[in-house]
Amino acid sequence: MIDPAQLILFIPAALALNLTPGSDMLFCLGQGLKSGPRAGIAASLGVATGALIHSLLAAFGLAALLAAYPFAFEIVRWAGVSYLVWLAVQAVRNRDAALSAVPVGSGNLFAAWRDGAIVNLFNPKVAIFMLAFVPQFVDPSRGSTILQFLIFGAVLNIGGTLVNGIVGAFAGSIGRTLTSSTALMTLYRWLTCSIFLGLAAKLAFDRR
């Protein structure tokens, strides 16, 4: 059982981290701009899926492998960079096509969810962060450390999902409202492209 005092300390710390603009938040912003509020929310759920997997990996110690073996870290990191660049290209391709509100059907929602999960999974810093932050609140004397780790990870993930979902939905509302302007929609496409390229650059050049 988790120490209630530790949980009280963890929740505001996790909320502060969730409210700090980062790669996941910007990704959801880009998806919301590109495909509307529902896609922004779906992207946040995809990010949450990736974060859940990272929590499981970190809880069972596998994330430590990325910290211990730089070559494995680099493979995952550059796979993430490549995927973000591909998303940036997709954001501006077919620029001569008619600009209109993007229909958000089940296919687009699945794609937004999938992309969010992949981008999060291919950011090895998320796993290392989970391994560095959460264990500070885990007390081996309180029972299963794996169960405690997963509970703390779930709290962190729920907060992040809510924040990212709100950001994605708000961005999507703006994009959908202004779809009648060709110039603004062109700007949105390039803004989305710039967000994805910026995330790729951040992942590529940030120090471990």
CB 110 within 8 A of CB 188: no
In a domain, 14, yes or no: no
Write out 20-34 in H/E/C secondary structure. CCCHHHHHHHHHHHH
Q: Tell me: the pLDDT tens digits for 87-133?
A: 788 777 755 444 444 444 556 889 899 999 998 888 877 777 776 67
In a domain, 19, yes or no: no
Mapping DSSP to helix (H, G, I), strand (E, B) and coil, where does residue 138 land? coil
In a domain, 11, yes or no: no
For the chain, what is the domain count?
Answer: 1
In a domain, 188, yes or no: yes
- pLDDT-based confidence at 148, cuts 50/70/90? confident
Q: Which domain holds residue 134?
A: 24-92+104-205
In a domain, 50, yes or no: yes
In a domain, 72, yes or no: yes
In a domain, 186, yes or no: yes
Whether the per-residue pLDDT at 155 is higher than 50: the answer is: yes
In a domain, 171, yes or no: yes
Mean pLDDT taken over the chain: 77
